[in-house]
Structure 1
């Protein structure tokens, strides 16, 4: 089980990481705003990782 301080740090870093991830993809040209599949696929992967983390936290408690 993670402590409150560690959860707070993770909660602060995670959104910054997501923004940096999208920015790098956009600036390197690996993602285009014209293709919805390029946007949805990484988003679904990220949401899946969040739910996997939440499920792991719930099982630990």
Structure 2
């Protein structure tokens, strides 16, 4: 297995699984978390007036 195959076929799938599982557990426990908590660095690239309020 090459490093590219490992990253694409194994590591990314494992990362995605663990991130989504952690998200589900936090939501189930009542933590209010959403997309804006994951990608605040992208708000500079969004049009004015389209950024969600906190």
TM-score, length-scaled by structure 1: 0.45
Which structure has more RCO (C-alpha within 8 Å, separation ≥ 6)?
1
TM-score, length-scaled by structure 2: 0.48
Q: Quick check: which one's helix share is greater?
A: 1
Structure 1 or 2, whichever has the larger Rg, is 2
